[in-house]
Structure 1
């Protein structure tokens, strides 16, 4: 299902910037702003989806409900991009309603649950293999599962980004938006078809409220000389948490320090869906490549590199005694991203100095 959802999301959203500018006659800054609102909705609503799943419905039902909202949004987007909607002045309003009210919420509700739902399908513990005395560690299985989960995400994104812009270029935006709707509908059918095989854990209440009450209690009962400010919640009586929960929360907060760098990463990464495309409009390119397909390379590299790293690079590093933990991998990725954006910055400087873009307002290259 996630492959189909990413096909739908990236296949459709990749066209938003050009669609808003060329068909709905929005300026480049307006197109970028609307695209960023879509991205904000897609990520901000993840908290809502997580709370609903943990508190009331469970992950399976929550994914299905938000997927239905998502599908409605894709259908409305298809209708609003048809000629009769554009001619009737409904194009921009239809875009905003479908993207912000349906697709944004649908994406967020799915995103917050589907990866953890995947992990729940892997039983914890050690599983015996065919080789006597050799066991499979569920932690390593989950780690590998997430790698291929991310691989399927990028495979779906690659196919969607490859097909949809070409359909928009050679046929129409209505047909190009209809393809993600059809693919995502198929994904929902496949997801529902496997319902009886899934491990479905019952909702046990959102941990967010429990964390908040634990942190508030620790603040009120903080004492001098404590090693950690959450130690004030240790040994508490008649509360919903135990000492193990407090210690786990302390570890989680320490691990969350790495997320301080994530806003910087995403501020850079999200340029790929709008400002990179605007940059591409100012450069010469082959006739077979649509400017909004430039992101295809990103997904293609990931589709190729993930199996290579999983089957060759990481095992080779382990045999050499080099074990790259999550922090080391994230740091390496950050460095590579920064190098990439230094290159893009230099490239944009060259574009400005070559003309006709000295004043930042030159015409797009056909």
Structure 2
């Protein structure tokens, strides 16, 4: 069994004075949701997600050896200094310091941008932390050229998790499982693993059109929401349900049963928001337009038998999921009936991707 200690390196065999790396990492959308966590960014239940393709963060990491101690970095967002992002990076560096002992030896310039609109309501913490973790692992690999690919990606996921829990699902694979799960070989609370089964062709190039219902800041952050699962009256049942749904979803992803996929994905989305509405204090992140879109998707599916469904993150936006061969009909439906419920008529077309990429 892999533990945190396995990610603490021995002495490095090489040295590097300066350089620059650039990696992209995508966002992801959970099908079985993780909600609630234990200390150390450990999930209270396992989850599985589709890795996205177009919604990604591109991060360049420039580094130069220095003589003074302590963490030292400049942070740029789209080429401009971004001071309000720095505390999160400082916290991240403090968390991963034991696993990357070279951190205090360099001054870093982190230059990052998103391919999706800033403040669009799409969570950028997963893609952002994943892209940064990939760059840091590229530097460690330069200091330790003997590193295997498996270790490289596993540790990148481990590090990304310490920045943002769901970031560990943005490293490698079309479908990624995170969290100990009895029926998933190799699963771990410490990092995400590519789905070990064979993904059915029905899910190849699966589509995710993201309807931007509300681009404002959420009144309750995901961090606070996770904490409210401590002492939640339905927490125990919810965590058990997630384990069962992950077992069922894994079978569905291999069998290609779209009807069962829809049932689990939509139930999981609504359960996530039910946990918010039954916590203390309680809160609602869905908006009236979120519900209008859901009802129209249900009506469209009943009338056409097209296997289109929705899922939700911890927010108001709606992810519309559907097979590649239904693109024309579903996009026409979105333009005709759903765009009016999006803020400024905005939506983003995405598809399943494969994870982080060195540029």
TM-score normalised over the length of structure 1: 0.24
Q: Which has the higher helix share?
A: 1
Q: Which has the higher strand share?
A: 2
Q: Which one has a bigger Cα radius of gyration?
A: 1
